[in-house]
Amino acid sequence: MADTLEYPYKVNVKKMGLLIPVIAGLAVLIVHLAMTNDRGLILFHAIHLGVENATIFYWGLSAVLGLAAGACLVAVITQLNAGDATVLRIADDGFTIPVGFFEKRMEFVRYSDITKLTMMSVQGQNYLVIRHMGGKISLQQQSMADEQSFLVASGTIMARCPHLKDKT
């Protein structure tokens, strides 16, 4: 029997906090463009919008950016109030991982329920995609303290799934 491994697993609140004013600032800029628009808009040299349609486009874009800033704010608040739901625990029979964006909850996955493990890298960030009987979750490097913690955690999970040696 091995000891239970625990790793902090949470959204980087500092980066997300810095992202909120940037997105909100862009939303305000686009609102200004919508309010003062007096000409059309050409997108990708293919889509030509008149003054009225360009104004509608600007208002829609500012609404999307405002919603994105709001979602980031909710994510930061959720993360700050998550308490114990920010720890990845790897035990002998399975692991418990925090899941959810607007609501933090813990999900327990037994190693015997895992059907496929896939290691991915997207723009320098590593992910371990875990398919199991109850669905799919991803272990994200960016939610862990550092790359070494991610490599140890993902390696431990893969090592404890001997039934998948030929399938990974």
Angle between helices 13-36 and 51-80 (to 10 degrees): 160
Task: Please give the pLDDT value at position 168.
Answer: 44
Average the pLDDT over each of 1-5, 58-62, 138-142 and give the range with the smallest value.
1-5
Q: Tell me, what's the pLDDT at 45? A: 85
* 99-115 pLDDT, tens digit each: 776 667 788 888 888 99
DSSP 51-76: HHHHHHHHHHHHHHHHHHHHHHHHHH
When pLDDT is averaged across residues 150-161 and rounded to a whole number, the result is 88
- Provide the pLDDT for residue 101: 63
Tokens representing residue 81 in the block: 């109030």
Q: What is the pTM of this model?
A: 0.65
More confident residue, 62 or 8: 62
